[in-house]
Amino acid sequence: MTAVAGEGADRSPRLGMHVSIAGGLPRMAERARDFACEAVQVFSRSPQGGPARPIPPEEAAATRALLLAADIRPLVIHMPYFANLCAADVSLRAYASETLAGELERAALLGAPYVVTHPGRPGEGTSPEEARGLVVESVLRAFEMSPAAAARVRLLLENTSGSGRELGSSLEEIATLAEAIETGLGAPGRVGFCLDTCHAHAAGYDLRGARGVAALARRATELLGRDRLAVVHANDSLGEVGSRRDRHAPIGGGTIGEAGFRALLAEPHLAGCPFLVETPGSDEHRAADLARLKRLRAGEALEG
């Protein structure tokens, strides 16, 4: 199993962002280097659907070499948005499992230790308990389809804002899913947690200052264990705390604000977790937010 973020001597968070794969994965790695990323996240395929383009071995090798030379780590793969692990339709769930299995394989090929996924959105008439069972079933099917890749790549469950019928807006539900998946696998340590700051704030975890950040981090550690906290999606929130609105905002430009991100970067329970910006707009917009995070990490003010 790949070492969990946070292990080792360096406890300062590595900062990076989601980078487009337009032009190919090696070009993505070059852009990540040019934007001074310390870690990076990508979609390995179109997040909107359609067949996945196979990754030639030479392209994967070139990507790994570029990231290694620039000391950009980890590479994190995000599941496409169209995959719904708890869809009511059996064929759609099967497609989600196939998609996840493919992402595990692509992550293993690229040397990415993590694949991040949202738990999903249940259909009308499906209870939360039933939906959680469908998520577990879908993930276990994916792991069975790609056992070698699944042994090398850790699946990270991302918390959600709770918009509509989304699963995973509470840490308790994320913990329940993680435990159920690992029980089904018969192996601990295969599932981790990706904390999205915008989603947590919108779901009711107040991240505007050190007290709320510490409370969330402590609770996550209590429920999930420190070894499961692997990645942070660093996004400010357009919506107020508890708004249930999944609307990302530029760093310091939303309702979490500068004080909230200072506290997140300094939170001991998150020490060593890479912080990855997913704010709206182009790579250049996210690079500006990455620079803001670096200023906050250095103890500088965003204004003045």
The full 3-state SS of 164-196, as one line of letters, equals CCCCCCCHHHHHHHHHHHHHHHCCCCCEEEEEE
**142: in domain:** yes
Q: What is the CATH number of the domain that holds 146?
A: 3.20.20.150
Which positions ≥6 away from 84 have C-beta within 8 Å?
92, 93, 96, 120, 121
**48: in domain:** yes
Which positions ≥6 away from 185 have C-beta within 8 Å?
140, 143
Based on the structure, what is the number of domains in the chain? 1
Q: Are 94 and 132 in contact (CB under 8 A)?
A: no
Q: Is pLDDT at 1 greater than 70 in this prediction? A: no
Is the CA virtual torsion 271, 40, 112, 103 positive or negative? positive
Q: What is the mean pLDDT of residues 245-269?
A: 97
Average pLDDT, the chain: 94
**114: in domain:** yes
Condensed to tens digits (0 to 9), the pLDDT of residues 201-247 reads 999 999 999 999 999 999 999 999 999 999 999 999 999 999 999 99
Cα–Cα dist 220/212, whole Å: 12
36-45, 260-269, 275-284, 294-303: least confidently modelled range: 294-303
Q: Which of 8, 33, 17, 20 is nearest to 231 (CA)?
A: 17
Q: What is the mean pLDDT of residues 103-128?
A: 96
Q: What pLDDT does residue 204 have?
A: 97
Cα–Cα dist 87/141, whole Å: 14
Percent helix, percent strand, percent coil in the chain, to nearest 5: 45, 15, 40
Residues of the domain holding 288: 15-297
Q: What pLDDT does residue 4 have?
A: 37
> What pTM value is reported for the model?
0.95
Cα–Cα dist 214/143, whole Å: 34
Q: What is the mean pLDDT of residues 117-135?
A: 95
Q: What pLDDT does residue 14 have?
A: 98
**8: in domain:** no
Q: Which of 155, 132, 44, 53 is nearest to 85 (CA)?
A: 132
Q: What pLDDT does residue 302 have?
A: 87
State residue 271 phi and psi, 5-degree precision. Answer: -55, 130
Question: What is the pLDDT confidence band of residue 101, given thresholds at 50, 70 and 90?
Answer: very high
